[in-house]
Structure 1
Amino acid sequence: MRKYIYLFAFGFLFFSCDKKSKIEREVEKIPVTMKVIRFEQAFFNATPQELPMVKAQYPDFFPAAIADAAWIEKMQNPQWRELYQEVEKKYKNFDTQHSEIEDLFKHIKYYFPTIKLPQIYTAIGEMDYLNKAIYANDKLVIALELYLGKDHKFYSEFPAYLRQNFEQRQMLPDIVSSLSYRIVPVSKNKDLLTLMINSGKELYLKDILLPDYTDAERIGYTENHIKWCKENESYMWEYFVSNKLLYSSDSKLPNRFINLAPFSKFYLEIDNETPGRVGQWVGWQIVRSYMQNNEVSVIQLLKADPTEIFEKSKYKPKSNE
């Protein structure tokens, strides 16, 4: 009997790997060519006299309300120039990242054939950690100053939970997050379950678009954070259910369990041990369960109502060990 179990397990594993390889083989056939435009190099290598030419070439990067004097000051400011030099040290050659982004968009085109390929623009901004990568219509703008490595001296004033994702490896997950804002429908309901499952949809996109990434990289956790969530999954679920939070629209809930934060707020002694955004992680598990238990496409998943997803997911949190 044990022999047959092993054979079944091996056959299932082989089938799963073969299925994945078939998708990857199809992905590899998709032609994707994307142009990279290095705006930060054009800007910081220009002289003040050449500013009008740079503005004419990149009009979208120069709001009309900002006077030329401000741009010239930025060109010549020692701190901005130091930041530019640090970015150049790491990304003067962008070929590897260019290839990775093209591979990502091959996966995107496989699942979403009508998606328009954008031009890639690299830039240096104001360290806006909420907009590290912006995908909009025909442009993909990447703020390189936020991918220098979590221990870089320029990040000393950022809290650790933000710094941990200022890594080059987070560039592609951030691009998928920006893409999700455009293709995941916005739900009218604002209850916790809806917010959790909408986050789960975004994270499921990272499952299929970034198959070589770990769960920790996809969600922006450490491996210890992932371990904590797995070990406490049923405890978290019991807390949400027993406190009747799933269908609550309490305005405090997003900051407690969904939004960027150093830890989640159960209002318990263990709070400091928790990662932030645990509601996103639980929503991710619900969406994964839904996709495992229902024959639906990715596009159907994105359009599905969060309540329907939950009801059909057959989600059952793993027992506490």
Structure 2
Amino acid sequence: MKKILGVILILIAFVACKNDKELKSDIANITVDIPIERFDRLFASATPKDLPVLKSKYPYLFSQKYSDEFWEAKLSDTLQKELEREVDIAFKSTAQIEGDLELLYKHILYYYPSTSVPKTISIITEVRNKVVLTDSLLLIGLDNYLGEDHYFYEGIQKYKSKNFRKEQIDVDVASAFAKAKVSRPLTSTFLDQIIYEGKQLYLMETLLSQKPIHEIFSYTAAEYAFAEENEVNMWEYFVSSKSLYSTDRKLLSRFIDPAPFSKFYLAFDNETPGRLGRYIGYKIVASYMNTNDVALKTMLLQDAETIFNNAKYKP
């Protein structure tokens, strides 16, 4: 009996390995080209006489709330010039970003073949908007990715600035895509919310198959290790505190919303990474996908109760 079971397990592993290789090959064979238009450089080198041409070519980058005089003044604004200089130093080339985005969109087109590859433009946002993604346009605020210790980010809380790195660009784009594909739950229990977040993270992991898992969570490696090591304790806390079916909105700020740490109201809170509810939601979704023969798109449409009841989640 043991020998038969061993053969079955070997066959399952062989089939899984073969399927994985075929999937990688299918994705690799998709052709995607995502050149980044450097609007940040075009604006940096422009004169007032160039503005009409830029406004004609990029009307969506010039808000009509502001007059021509405003844009002319911005051309020589001290802060704008400093941002342009630092961005130019950090991003002499965007080849790596283009490669990362092309790999991401190969995955997107494999799972969502009707998706349009967006026109991609780099801009400067005065450290406000990281990425903006629509069906046809992707804007990347490069000044949000100069490195976590850049002097521009002094005064910004560390839990935010630690992800102001170029390695997070494709993660932020994948996150924007996932938000568009995962509908918000119709009910508002804590379980609904963590599985909603877990769906997004699972989709992001699928689309960023070569990205370290901690980067997908916007965690450091140590923060992700903390989540793994304390998964059982966190789950027991949520169960014993009867949080899963609670509609208390404070649970969102404690365990889901961006924050420097999660709030269990325990002595070690300051040692925890923020948003740990998302981690548990992701693990429930991953368990569901591992124990059920369900297509990715089908799972994304299913309600939290169905996923939870069939996940066989046992940390």
TM-score band by shorter chain is: over 0.9
Structure 2 stretches of 5 or more lacking a match?
Answer: none
Structure 1 stretches of 5 or more lacking a match?
Answer: none
SS at 1:195's partner residue? helix
1:155 is aligned, of 138, 153, 175, to: 153
SS at 1:19's partner residue? helix
Corresponding residue of 2:69: 69
- What stretches of structure 1 move > 4 A for 4+ residues in a row? 1-15
Measure the CA separation in 2 of the matches of 1:121 and 1:134.
10
Q: Quick check: 1:60 aligned with 2:60?
A: yes
List per-residue Cα deviations over 1:265-289 (Å, max 9, x = no partner): 1111111011000000100000000
Structure 2 contact 178–204 (Cα < 8 Å) conserved: no
Question: What is the letter of the counterpart of residue 27 of structure 2?
Answer: V
SS at 1:122's partner residue? strand
Measure the CA separation in 2 of the matches of 1:68 and 1:29.
47
Measure the CA separation in 2 of the matches of 1:209 and 1:48.
42
> Where does 1:60-139 land on structure 2 (aligned, <5 Å)?
60-128=60-128, 131-139=129-137
Question: TM (normalized to structure 2)?
Answer: 0.94
In the TM superposition, residue 11 of structure 1 has moved relative to its aligned partner by 6.0
Identity %: 38
Return closer, same or farther for 1:84/1:231 CA change in 2, 3 Å cut-off. Answer: same
SS at 2:97's partner residue? helix
Measure the CA separation in 2 of the matches of 1:242 and 1:41.
55
In the TM superposition, residue 61 of structure 1 has moved relative to its aligned partner by 0.8
In the TM superposition, residue 300 of structure 1 has moved relative to its aligned partner by 0.4
Return closer, same or farther for 1:14/1:170 CA change in 2, 3 Å cut-off. Answer: farther
SS at 1:99's partner residue? helix
SS at 1:269's partner residue? coil
Measure the CA separation in 1 of the matches of 2:208 and 2:202.
10
Question: TM (normalized to structure 1)?
Answer: 0.92
Return closer, same or farther for 1:8/1:49 CA change in 2, 3 Å cut-off. Answer: same
Question: What is the letter of the counterpart of residue 244 of structure 1?
Answer: K
Measure the CA separation in 1 of the matches of 2:296 and 2:236.
29
Return closer, same or farther for 1:228/1:2 CA change in 2, 3 Å cut-off. Answer: farther
Structure 2 contact 258–274 (Cα < 8 Å) conserved: yes
In the TM superposition, residue 308 of structure 1 has moved relative to its aligned partner by 0.9
Measure the CA separation in 1 of the matches of 2:222 and 2:310.
30
In the TM superposition, residue 101 of structure 1 has moved relative to its aligned partner by 0.8
SS at 2:268's partner residue? helix
In the TM superposition, residue 102 of structure 1 has moved relative to its aligned partner by 1.2
List per-residue Cα deviations over 1:263-321 (Å, max 9, x = no partner): 0011111110110000001000000001001111111011111111111111111xxxx
List per-residue Cα deviations over 1:214-260 (Å, max 9, x = no partner): 11111011111111111211111111111111111212111110010
Worse-matched range after superposition: 49-58 or 171-180: 49-58
Measure the CA separation in 2 of the matches of 1:86 and 1:17.
45
Question: What is the letter of the counterpart of residue 175 of structure 2?
Answer: S
Counting matched residue pairs gives 315
Corresponding residue of 1:249: 247
SS at 1:187's partner residue? coil
Measure the CA separation in 1 of the matches of 2:3 and 2:146.
51
Corresponding residue of 2:231: 233
Structure 2 contact 97–170 (Cα < 8 Å) conserved: no
List per-residue Cα deviations over 1:140-199 (Å, max 9, x = no partner): 111111111111121122121112111111111111100012111121222211110111
SS at 2:163's partner residue? coil
1:177 is aligned, of 138, 152, 175, to: 175
Question: What is the letter of the counterpart of residue 190 of structure 2?
Answer: L
Return closer, same or farther for 1:166/1:7 CA change in 2, 3 Å cut-off. Answer: farther
Corresponding residue of 1:29: 29
In the TM superposition, residue 19 of structure 1 has moved relative to its aligned partner by 2.4
Return closer, same or farther for 1:2/1:83 CA change in 2, 3 Å cut-off. Answer: farther
SS at 1:141's partner residue? strand
Measure the CA separation in 2 of the matches of 1:251 and 1:219.
22
Question: What is the letter of the counterpart of residue 274 of structure 1?
Answer: T
